[in-house]
Amino acid sequence: MEVLPLLLGVGCLGATALFVVVWVLNSARERRRRDRLTRWASQHGWTITPNPSVNWGSRLPGGNPRGVSLAISATVHGRQVSVAEYSYSETQTTTTSDGQGGTSVGQTTQTHAFTVVVVRLARSYPALAVEPRSSMSRLGRRLVGGGNATGHDEFDRKYRVDSADPGAVRRFVGPALIDEHLAGAVPPWSVYGPELLTYRPGAIEAPQHIPAMVGPLLRVAHHLDSRP
């Protein structure tokens, strides 16, 4: 009868030790990643700002106002640009039965990380966003019609444009920018005031790819600022 508690105790100690090892390894890996970002930024004339005071989180998944933990900024082709890291966490509660009429409640937390690219525009714009339509959105458009935000049928079939100002859609999402989207040359984006933003899942693992992350959004910025 004393063997079972002993085994349980050994199992708990083993699980704790494993957790500590994983935590140490992950912490060391994160330090090395941050060191790579710092060295790259220093060598290429970019500036790193930990926990920048920005409001980008309200336009990102999870809406975490303090979710931007790092921003790497520079002036590229005459525009102020930033590549940032953002995250938010979700906690899920699960209830399980022990098979004897009792229940236990557990919680698991999952953190979602994103890389964010922001370009400063030459002027302020009304809130506007372009993103690919989901399969449900495409189905709804076929069933009920409408959704011709720009008047370009192929673009409106593939992309959804969100704006409270319908006139702004056709004013700023012009033929050249529509062609760029249909060619896959530019990412989904949103603009609010003078800040143009896009994001994708994952943290910045390879800092040498930062310029390539910025390039496509700079193309969007050029098209927007070229409109009258």
- Indicate the domain borders of the chain: 1-44, 45-226
Structure confidence at residue 40 (pLDDT): 97
Q: Does residue 139 surpass a pLDDT of 60? A: no
pTM, two decimals, is: 0.81
Helices (H), the chain: 3-44, 135-144, 153-158, 166-172, 175-182, 210-226
- 53 pLDDT more than 90: yes
Three-state SS for 172-211 is: HCCHHHHHHHHCCCCCCEEEEEEEEEEEEECCCCCHHHHH
Give the pLDDT of residue 18. Answer: 53
- Beta carbons within 10 angstroms of residue 213's beta carbon: 18
Question: Higher model confidence: residue 92 or residue 47?
Answer: 47
Q: What is the pLDDT of residue 13?
A: 57
Q: How far apart are CA 86 and CA 203, in angstroms?
A: 8
pLDDT in the model for residue 143: 45
Report, as an integer, the average pLDDT of 108-135: 94
- Asked if 146 and 166 count as a contact pair (C-beta separation under 8 A), the reply is no
